[in-house]
Amino acid sequence: LFASEIKALLAHPGLDLTLDRSALFDYVTYQYIPAPKSVYARIRKLPSGHTLVFERGELRIAPYWDVQFSDETFTEDQAIARVQHVLREAVDMRLVADVPLGVFLSGGVDSSVITATMAALQRDPVKSFTIGFEGATESEVHYARLVAKHCHTDHHERTLPRESVETMLPWAAATYDEPFADPSAMPTYLVSRTARENVIVILSGDGGDELFCGYPWYAYWLLLRPFDLLPLSLRR
């Protein structure tokens, strides 16, 4: 059996729903369950950047894309120029659409760069969308407003009471097919619902921190590398 999500598979009466205990350990470690595991031992997920082909009784899973690294070196100016070129090319490619499109503008570096790139590439004002919560201590809404003003976007902003997240919990439990603890899922859903009132396609900055080591734990990991020189018994 195969489907785009687990809940479609659950319609099959003979499905084995034994829990995968190692996947549960992954969940409490990473706050999600990485592919190819799922919370069910007999259901596997197709990894990102892979294709699945079933032909003449044979099943093949193979990668079609991955991040490529090389030993080629650049000066800082060359690296900046290349990143700008690739970013502009990637955004320009995705502006080719026969439906209205916009951008999620959180106020962070990733979405701000994409918003600015879109603004430079299209004549009409970019439709940008931001979500905020009442009383939030770490809100980036202020930065989103600054970027929207600088890029002259058609900005849409919605501030919601904290209680709105609580009312969404039953929806989240029904929508996600397995345990998932990333709190950004809630505001992502809410800003998507807001954007859908105006556009069909959205560009976002997801993945930038992973590609450019933007999270603090990358720095922590580098600091801990010398401990790998210690014997395993000492590290434990």
pLDDT digits (tens, 9 = 90+) for 132-164: 887 766 678 899 999 999 999 999 998 888 777
The percent of the chain in helix, strand and coil, each rounded to the nearest 5, is 45, 15, 40
Which of the two residues, 134 and 83, has the higher pLDDT score? Answer: 83
Average pLDDT over residues 183-187: 80
Count of residues in the chain: 236
Q: Kindly give, in sequence order, each residue whose CB lies less than 8 Å from that of residue 182, ignoring residues fewer than 6 positions away.
A: 31, 32
Amino acid identity at 86: V
* Predicted pLDDT at 138: 66
State phi, psi for 145 to the nearest 5 degrees.
-65, -40
pLDDT above 70: residue 194: yes
Buried/exposed code over 92-131 (b: 16+ C-beta within 10 A; e: otherwise):
eeeeeeeeebbbbbbbbebbbbbbbbbbeeeeeebbbbbb
Q: Residues 20, 38: contact at Cβ < 8 Å?
A: yes
Residue 13 corresponds to which tokens in the numbers above? 């009466």
Residue 36 preceded by cis peptide, ω within 30: yes
Q: Residues 202, 195: contact at Cβ < 8 Å?
A: yes
Q: Which residue has the tokens 């590439």?
A: 121
- DSSP string over 34-98: -TT--SBTT--PPPTTEEEEEETTEEEEEES------S----HHHHHHHHHHHHHHHHHHHT--S
Q: What percent of the chain has pLDDT over 90?
A: 57
Q: Please state, as a whole number, how many other Cβ atoms lie within 10 Å of the Cβ of residue 33.
A: 23
